Amino acid sequence: MNNNNSKTIVWDNIPEWAIFSLEYGIDEELFLPDEDKEMITKFIVENFPNGYTMSVDWESYNEFDTNPAFGKACKTYKVTFCIL
């Protein structure tokens, strides 16, 4: 998937609760409160305005990360984003 126009960024502190929405979109999320959906949307708009694909490293996680990419302290995962 190497493309001259793409850039790869690795975040090692993506909240576990946000992974589904980051992968499938906010519209598919039925259970998160609006506040959490807004944080995810803000993260996407600020970092990936033109879109992205992502890959989660399920073996690389922090059981209790006090500095997640957004939100309160929680379990986080290492996620690789390929910016379009």
List pLDDT tens digits, range 17-70: 999 999 999 988 889 999 999 999 999 999 999 999 999 999 999 999 999 999
* Helical ranges in 1-84 per DSSP H: 19-24, 34-47
Q: Note the pTM of the prediction, 2 decimals.
A: 0.90
Residues 6+ apart with CB under 8 A from 4: none
Q: What is the pLDDT of residue 33?
A: 95
Other beta carbons less than 10 A from residue 4's beta carbon: 4
CB-based contact 60:72 (threshold 8 Å):
no
Length of the chain (residues):
84
